[in-house]
Structure 1
Amino acid sequence: MLTTVPYTRDLVLVGGGHAHALVLKAWGMDPLPGARLTVINPGPTAPYTGMLPGYVAGHYGRDDLEIDLVRLCRHAGARLIFDKAVGFDRARREVALEGRGPLTYDVASIDVGITAQMDLPGFAEHGIGAKPLDTYAARWRDFLEQTAQGQVAPDVAVIGGGVAGCELAMAMTFALRAAGVAPRVTVIEAGPQISGVGDKARQRMLVAMDGLGIVVKTEATVVEICADKVLLSGQAPVAAMLCVGAAGAFAHSWIAHTDLPQRDGFIEIGADLGVVGDKALFAVGDCAVMPHAPRPKAGVFAVRAAPVLHHNLRAALSGGRRKTWKPQKNYLKLISMGGQTAMAEKFGVTLTGPFMWRWKDRIDRAFMDRVNDLPKMVVPKAMGEMATGVAEILAARPLCGGCGAKVGHGVLSGALQTVAQPSGEVVAGVGDDAAVLRQPGGGFQVISTDHLRSFIDDPELMTRIAAVHALGDVWAMGAQPQVGLASIVVPQMSAELQARTLSEITQVATEVLHAAGAQLVGGHTTMGPELTIGFTVTGTRESMPLTVAAAKAGDVLILTRPIGSGVLLAADMAGQADGRDVASALAIMAQAQDREAAILAPVAHAMTDVTGFGLAGHVKAICEASGTDADLWQDAIPIYAGARALSDAGVSSTLMPANHADAPIEGVQDALLYDPQTAGGLLAAVPEGQSTAVIESLGAKGCVGHVIGRLTEGAGHLRLKACCSKVGTGSELLEHANAPCSS
């Protein structure tokens, strides 16, 4: 019986704008069977622009105005690709991306917004556009801190006297005053007056800006942006240690280089939001223009267009009938005035005061609630007659992906007890990272295999992480990767989508293995219930490869990556993780560890990679094989951002209880030490006298190493001790570990 509908069509949403966010929310509530949904966005979040002035003024935190696309895509069953679109090939139906190969679509929609980057002399070097938010927000935070400390003069110039420019000018002035600074803010407008509002609203805005001490210069033409001033034609320069561009809306430059129908760089669309002359493409929001119904660049239109876009995307994928969208001619403008007061304008009527701010705040927060308040994952209850033990298994938390889906060490060890001991050409077998074979011509070969149950819906990133994960066994033994065989299970889908998916996987696998000095030589592919990717890898080494069995008492333990990926992936599956934390962890997991291995292998007595059995399990493996105990220093162990809070809240991977039972620790208890890691760090036992040089060498290569404990005489016991969190790595931490903690 068919339990899942096979994929037959690819829908790609380019950009995480307001309309696409609402489409994702609706899609998750009622997905279209057979459609595979992909979202392309540079980062894990997208800003809600309506709250930007309030954020700049200090009324909101960054979390308040960011749409968590990771959680939203998890809700919608969509894969999220962190990248930027840089072009379209409409004949091949491909989106060109900045950091990876092109992505094929059957239907696509573009919602990438606009930019405020200005084509003025000196702007690229000394100015900052109000959009994109990430760049502007980082520059603004730095400037605010520097002015508060008296390091930089509080001189700000805003180029553009429209609503956006005036709002930002008032917000920045308010924030600088709140920081105890006397700001000097100037709005520079090329036209005869500030624009975007009626006469009454304009007068109120001018009065408000005058009350804040903001200078407004009209009919002012900018000649050049300098490091500390803005040069004007025929007028005195304006002092500016921060110059913000907010003069109108500018289309992204890459659009102009495509064959998309456009006007002034904006994509031309019809009444159904479809790109003119192309039945497979849509565009919405500020990046699009409707010649038959021109409208201002305002987020309200993207929000209103979202239901029609959602309907028409489904129609384009299924052969249904499309709807038309008619943007309203008049819309409510709610303008922040710096403090917690706002002005409303519609039909020429203008109202100002704190009550308008509360109204605006309520509207803005309601929108954020729509896209961020997602239903919790519900595990179906077991029903009807079933065999003994089934209900207990089904009642447990859902099975994790990655290494969280591994079989526990205790069960695995029992199953492997009958495996024959190494003999002949086999030097080492069960119990280490890889089997070691003696090569007939001299030297040694290592061989290992690993695969991962999918924990993200992006085959490209899954392949990259799975390849790095498998290569970890070779690197951990100090060997040079040689060849790789892929083992791939893809979900049931049409032949065309199979070809697209396998092409992505093969390209990335080839890239990762080639970068490691190895070659992809084949593999096996089949269809199954979910994406699973694995590799069998081999490596070579002239001398005997490193194992877990030669560590010595007095060695210190160096770890190259944080722990906590299992907790983050488990929380992500349940829609509980912060998207920025998930994205940050995935980025680290996808990085090769050949540089770390090259530095650690020549000096390490023993080495392994931290994977499914957690940090405690892998430390115990070294201790039992080497005849030592281990003291771990809790505050020295690196942890992925967000993992500690989730662990403290009770989130854990399905494998964590088994890991805890297999590697108990004396002293302070910390669940994260039992957390199964995917593509985890290398763990090396290094002579204490060489540890500082190793840490410095890692840093010089752009890598990170953390001294997390010391081995002592013993028989495989683990102890966890609290250590001062103020102490860093290397000799400072080693010295501290030998003395009582005074903090």
Structure 2
Amino acid sequence: MSMTSTSTIAYQDLVLVGGGHAHAQVIKMWGMRSLPGVRLTLISPQVQTPYSGMLPGLVAGHYQFDDAHIDLMRLCQFAGVRFIQASVSRLDLDNRELWLDDTDRPATGFDLLSINSGITPELSLAGVAEYATPVKPISAFYPRWQRCLAQLRSASTPCAITVVGGGAAGIELILAMHHTISQQQGIGVAVDLHLVYRGNDILSSYPPRIREQVKAQLHSHGIHIHGNCEVSKLSSRHIHFSSGAAPLLSEHIFWCTQASAADWPGQSGLATDCKGFISLLDTLQSTSHDFVFAAGDIAQQVNYPRPAAGVFAVRQGPVLFENLQRKLLAKPLKQHRPQQDFLSILALGRRDAIAHRRFLPTLRGGWVWRWKNRIDQQFMAMFSELSMPASALANQAVAPAISGIDTPSPLSSLAMRCGGCGAKVGATSLSKVIRQLQPIHRDDVVWGLDSPDDAAALRISDTTASGQSQLLLQSVDHFRAFIDEPYLLGQIAAQHALSDLFAMNATPQSAMAIASLPYASDNITERDLLQLMSGAIKVLNDNNCSLTGGHTSEGNELSIGFAVNGLAPEHAILNKATLQAGQVLILTKALGTGTLFAAHGQLQAKGQWLETAIAAMLQSNRRAGELFHAHGATACTDITGFGLAGHLVEMLKPSGLLARLQLSAIPALAGALHCLSSGFSSSLQDQNQRISRAIANTEQWQAHPLYPLLFDPQTSGGLLASVPSENATSCLSALRDGGYHVATIIGDIHYKPKELGLIELTD
């Protein structure tokens, strides 16, 4: 988040809870027309939120996952909206704070709040939570449906799938399931489909002519219909009925009954109706708290109650956006009167559908499905067809053309400077400056400015029980924010700083912080600083590292760093420069954070890719360092801003050895190779790539898709260690058991012929 003038200083926090259809529209419209002085934040447990209207088509195989999901992280990046991936557990309405599901996290403050978080499945019936797959929330349902299909492909005996619920959602779902199973190659067993519902008939709110057509469709596909069946409980592979009828055997049970309201709004003090849904005025404000708005299935307008349907949330979106802005500007609010009736289109599994609206004739056919598809695609295009706003591009600093030097385009790495470790000064520039410095020499400095190691080391007077010298290790890391979520950034920055100590097999002792907060009101500055440092404290405390002080300042952007201290016996230190021939190189984490966040800055990275990258950055290197030491590693480093090749060269230079890297073995984060091949790279990539002169056969491998990954700067990257070859298998197994699931052997160490460089690439 960049704040370069007083006109962009944040004074108020508007927080959206939930990434439903209405909020997605609010964010898109905010990106086109934001309010100066207002910071908008979205809190959602999902990075990608499903569009319910396309769920049947997704299950039927007519759409791919991305077609039917709104990428919230990308949408927020477009609109300049902060994104926090979490679930809300409760509100403090008196203090205008909300609590997230992370118990270590402090409350998040707000000035104005809007809730569009959907509904929750009704799981109170015995056995439902254990043995059924609820269809709501859709984000949890779809992965379980994919696992169901995988189990069907590997099944050797007939099995059954049951959908419980005879409403429109249940009908569409079971017909979509039938279609995709009938089209799936690799399913070699019979699959019986059952529809169970408790009423007299399916689709109780639809006219008889539609019910008859749909029942005929179900019968034609051999789907077993069980009407007037009240489910009493579920057990493993069985559905039990209140009537005492024989239990129905079913290996896969999908729960598609009416969902219920979440508990936390009512428990927090918001006025709700008799079913627990937030009670709304016609302005979409809470009837009890005028600074809380809501939309979608989680709420009901008291004057115009309507059934849960995505069409109502879609219609509420523009009004919600307008009223949120009007509330912030102290202007009169608009009234929203939802339509009494709406066009209902039932998808019938195949590219076939029935359209119904009261007082109009029933329409059916492939053309109806295509009509629905066009409506759905037009809605989704609002959130998928995004480009950087012209104002954002105009603000990028473009380097002037210089004779003899290639001039970058406005979207090049020089124009769009990266955060994280991509914001480092390049190794070449840094080395030139260091060579000109003349620090005084002290006898107690074991490794200092002239050493390539990850931390400086000072010999202190204390000794270990064995009489070995005890070393004090010191390291410092600081970077500009590459994500705008302070709590998460604090965690990643602390993990990143501690990694230098873990790479050298030191035990952290203390840390001091340095942080810069964007210009904002006092309230917002306090909120951000608390979140930032609470995230850092969580990581430091987990590692028994005491935060002893620090320094804070204001600036144009968020930045955070730590100076950390650790202790280690001198004989147990892992250096960079002590490689040995015959050893193998093991890397613990996949690469690609630099290119992924460079692409994110240009709206070209998927939220799922970024979610995976953030999870990797949050993973501590502590256990990896311990395991490397236990398996006899002689050299180790963490992979950060100078990339894999740069850090490996630092290890190789003092040793005079050669590293033979197997390029195809180097693990890449999801989406990283796509981003690199599309031309998205960190602003540090070009400087890092100058180290290619140390690669003996670089020209031979430049076209390889993994080649640019060697120079990609990492933030909170993994460890790279040289391990005796006889210990490699056990070390790798221990690392994977310890949670480093992509840990892999990427090469080995050899004596270097004089004519070769420091690295040789193989495939």
Q: TM-score range by the shorter chain?
A: over 0.9
Q: Distance in 2 between matches of 1:382 and 1:404?
A: 17
CA contact (8 A) 2:17 2:43 kept: yes
CA 1:382–1:551 in structure 2 vs 1: closer, same or farther (change >3 Å)? closer
Q: Does the Cα contact within 8 Å between 1:382 and 1:394 map onto a contact in 2?
A: no
Structure 1 CA distance for aligned equivalents of residues 175 and 372 of structure 2: 16
Equivalent residue number for residue 462 of structure 2:
441
Cα deviation, residue 376, structure 1:
3.1
Of 699-708 and 635-644, deviating more is 699-708
Partner AA of 2:422 in structure 1: G
Q: How far, CA to CA, are the matches of 1:113 and 1:196 in structure 2?
A: 22
- Aligned residue for 1:416, secondary structure, equals helix
Counterpart in 2 of 1:712?
750
* Native 8 Å contact 2:134 2:255 kept in 1: yes
Deviates more, 1:250-259 or 1:574-583: 250-259
Query: Within 2, Cα distance between the matches of 1:196 and 1:12?
Result: 36
Cα distance between partner residues in 2 of 1:152 and 1:537: 59
Aligned to 1:608: 637
Q: CA deviation at 1:228?
A: 2.1
| Residues 526-555 of structure 1 deviation map (CA, whole Å, 9 limit, x = unaligned) | 100100111111111122532211111112
1:662, 1:411 → 2: CA distance?
Answer: 12
- Aligned equivalent of 2:173: 168
User: Is the 1:108–1:280 contact (alpha carbons within 8 Å) kept by the matching residues of 2?
Assistant: yes
Q: Could you say which residue in structure 2 is the equivalent of 1:206?
A: 215
Q: CA deviation at 1:25?
A: 0.7
Q: 2:139 is paired with a residue of what secondary structure? A: helix
Q: Where does residue 331 of structure 2 map in the other structure?
A: 320
Distance 1:596 1:237 in 2: 51
Q: How far apart, in 1, do the equivalents of 2:47 and 2:441 lie?
A: 48
What is the distance in 2 between the residues matched to 1:153 and 1:373?
44
Q: Please state how far the C-alpha of 1:388 moved relative to its aligned partner.
A: 6.8
Structure 1 CA distance for aligned equivalents of residues 38 and 205 of structure 2: 41
Query: Judging changes above 3 Å, is the alpha-carbon distance between structure 1 residues 377 and 605 closer, same or farther for their aligned structure 2 residues?
Result: farther
Are positions 1:671 and 2:708 aligned together? yes
Residue aligning to 1:574: 602
Match of 2:415 in 1: 397
Q: Does 1:627 align with 2:656?
A: yes
1:661 aligns with 2:690: yes
Residues 1:137 and 2:174 are matched in the alignment: no
Task: Give the secondary structure class of the aligned counterpart of 1:19.
Answer: helix
Tell me the SS of whatever aligns to 1:277.
coil
User: 1:141-161: per-residue Cα shift (whole Å, max 9, x none)?
Assistant: 222232234345331222111
Contact 1:11 1:36 in 2 (8 A): yes
Q: Distance in 2 between matches of 1:422 and 1:369?
A: 64
In the aligned structure 2, how far is the partner of 1:41 from the partner of 1:346?
A: 34
Rounded to whole Å, the distance in 2 between the matches of 1:593 and 1:166 is 49
Which residue is equivalent to 1:376? Answer: 388
The CA deviation at 1:239 is: 2.7
Report the more deviating stretch, 606-615 or 377-386: 377-386
Secondary structure of 2:247's counterpart equals strand
1:422/1:588 Cα in 2 relative to 1: closer, same or farther (>3 Å)? farther
Structure 1 residue aligned with 2:734? 697
Alpha-carbon offset, residue 346 of structure 1: 0.7
Contact 1:157/1:238, CA 8 A, preserved across alignment: no
Q: Secondary structure, in 3 states, of the residue corresponding to 1:64?
A: helix
Query: In terms of mean alpha carbon deviation, does 580-589 or 380-389 score higher?
Result: 380-389
Which AA in structure 2 matches 1:710?
A: D
272-281 vs 413-422, which moves further: 413-422
Alignment of 1:219-230 (within 5 A): 219-230=228-239
CA contact (8 A) 1:628 1:717 kept: no
Q: Deviations over 1:667-708 (max 9, x none)?
A: 423111001111111111111111112112222322342111
CA distance in 2, matches of 1:67, 1:318: 29
In 1, distance between residues paired with 2:673 and 2:397? 36
- 1:225-304 matches, cutoff 5 A: 225-234=234-243, 235-263=245-273, 264-304=275-315
Counterpart position of 2:545? 518
Please say if residues 122 and 260 of structure 2, whose CA atoms lie closer than 8 Å, have aligned partners that are also in contact.
yes
1:41 shift after superposition: 1.0
What whole-Å deviation, never above 9, does each CA across 1:290-327 have from its counterpart, x for those lacking one? 12101110001111110111111112223222111110
3-state SS of 1:440 partner = strand
Which of 105, 108, 129 is the matching residue for 2:110?
Answer: 105
Deviates more, 1:7-16 or 1:544-553: 544-553
Q: How does 1:480-629 map to 2 (within 5 A)?
A: 480-544=507-571, 545-602=573-630, 603-629=632-658
The 3 A distance-change label for structure 1 pair 80 and 151 is farther
Deviations 1:117-163 (A, max 9, x none): 43211111111111112332222222223223434533122211111
Deviation at 1:623, TM superposition (A): 0.5
Contact 1:668 1:720 in 2 (8 A): no
Between the aligned partners of 2:389 and 2:447, the Cα distance in structure 1 is 44
Aligned amino acid, residue 56 of structure 2: P
The match for 1:641 is 670
Q: CA RMSD in A?
A: 2.1
2:467 match: none
Matched, 1:84 2:87: yes
Q: Secondary structure at the match of 2:258?
A: coil
**Gapped regions of structure 2 (runs ≥ 5):** 464-469
The separation in 1 between residues aligned to 2:125 and 2:456, in whole angstroms, is 62
Aligned to 1:192: 200
In structure 2, C-alpha distance between the alignment counterparts of 1:662 and 1:41, rounded to whole Å:
41
Deviations 1:104-125 (A, max 9, x none): 1111111111123432111111
- What are the Cα deviations for residues 194-253 of structure 1, in whole angstroms up to 9, with x where unaligned? 223222222222222122222322222111212222112223433321111111132124
Verify the 8 A CA contact 1:156 1:239 in the aligned structure 2. Answer: no
Shift of 1:394: 8.0
Counting only pairs closer than 5 Å after superposition, residues 441-480 of structure 1 correspond to structure 2 as 441-442=462-463, 443-480=470-507
Structure 2 CA distance for partners of 1:87 and 1:635, relative to 1, 3 Å: same
What's 1:738 paired with? none
1:378-416 CA distance string (max 9 Å, x none): 532899998979995784431111111111101100000
Match of 1:601, SS?
helix
Q: Which one of 394, 418, 434 corresponds to residue 416 of structure 1?
A: 434
SS of match in other structure, 2:120: coil
- 1:478 and 1:634 map into 2 onto residues whose CA distance is 28
Match of 2:356 in 1: 345
Q: Whole-Å Cα distance in 2 between the matches of residues 386 and 620 of structure 1?
A: 32
In 1, Cα distance between equivalents of 2:459 and 2:612: 40
Matching residue within 21, 24, 30 for 1:21: 24
Distance in 2, Cα, partners of 1:394 & 1:535: 34
When the two structures are superposed, what TM-score results if normalisation uses the length of structure 1? 0.94
Alpha-carbon separation, structure 1, partners of 2:445 and 2:652? 23
Aligned CA distance change for structure 1 residues 391 and 683 (closer, same or farther; 3 Å): closer
Check conservation: 1:563, 1:680, Cα contact below 8 A: yes
Quote the offset at 1:564 in angstroms.
0.8
- State the AA in 1 paired with 2:590: P
Contiguous gaps of at least 5 residues in structure 1: 724-743
Secondary structure of the residue aligned to 1:362 is: helix
Conserved in 2, the CA contact under 8 Å of 1:595 and 1:703? no
**2-structure distance, mates of 1:613, 1:385:** 23
Offset from partner CA, 1:36-65 (integer Å, 9 cap, x none) = 111111121100011111111111121111
CA deviations on 1:616-661 (whole Å, 9 max, x unpaired) are 0011110002221111111211110000111112111111111111
Cα offsets for 1:709-743 (capped at 9, x unmatched): 111112783445444xxxxxxxxxxxxxxxxxxxx
After TM superposition, the structure 1 stretch with the greater mean CA deviation from structure 2, 683-692 or 380-389, is 380-389
From 115, 119, 141, give the equivalent of 2:120: 115
In terms of mean alpha carbon deviation, does 21-30 or 190-199 score higher? 190-199
Q: Would you say the 8 A contact 1:342–1:352 is kept in 2? A: yes
How many residue pairs get aligned? The number is: 723
Which residue identity is paired with 1:191?
A: G
Higher alpha-carbon deviation: 646-655 or 388-397: 388-397
Q: Give every structure 1 segment of 4 or more consecutive aligned residues whose post-TM-superposition deviation is greater than 4 Å.
A: 381-395
